Structure 1
Amino acid sequence: MDFHTHNLLSVPGTAIVNVPREWLMSPALFRPVPGGLYSAGIHPWWTGEAQDAGRLFAGLRQLSEHAQVVAVGECGLDRLRGADLEIQTALFRRQVELAEERGLPVTVH
């Protein structure tokens, strides 16, 4: 299955939307659409900014507590972009552990 939502459907409530990186950096910016469902995760392409990893993960943890965040992701590994695989793997594991802790599914890159 392909869960990409780059082209959102015009019918409200029919797509799970990946949250923008800005919401992870500043969770207070998250203003969900009523009835919307969201997936929050650290995309592997964002892992190249290792100095922000702790802040991104803290934001993810906070966002994952919101009732409208129903999945963790898109997260995973990418050999073509992002930090080296060691950093990507560590962040991917933390996200999977968070999803398990929260009882949420994971969408994998």
Structure 2
Amino acid sequence: MVRLGYRIRERNWRCRTGELDIVATDGDTTVIVEVRSRRENGRFGTAVEAVTPRKCMQVRATAQVYLRFAGLDGARIRFDVVAVTNDETGGVKEVRHLVGAF
């Protein structure tokens, strides 16, 4: 993320509604990044498939709390997903960054 010019504001920010994996800024936009990982050919689908509508709603609700907490009400916001696919040995096989995923 840093190589792409993002500035990391928070990692693993938590409140009673949930957790935000990464909060960053990309120019004048606050970016909430949901990170998911899955094993290649795993029983539970791909990392991208793990970002369900329910998870999206939870992340949005938690982002609202964060924005209020950080004094960023009215800020431009975007939700990205970073999907990590691991091989059978646990090594990283693929990393996909989906900008504006939800």
How high is the TM-score relative to the length of structure 2?
0.34
- Higher strand proportion (structure 1 or 2): 2
How high is the TM-score relative to the length of structure 1?
0.33
- Higher helix proportion (structure 1 or 2): 1
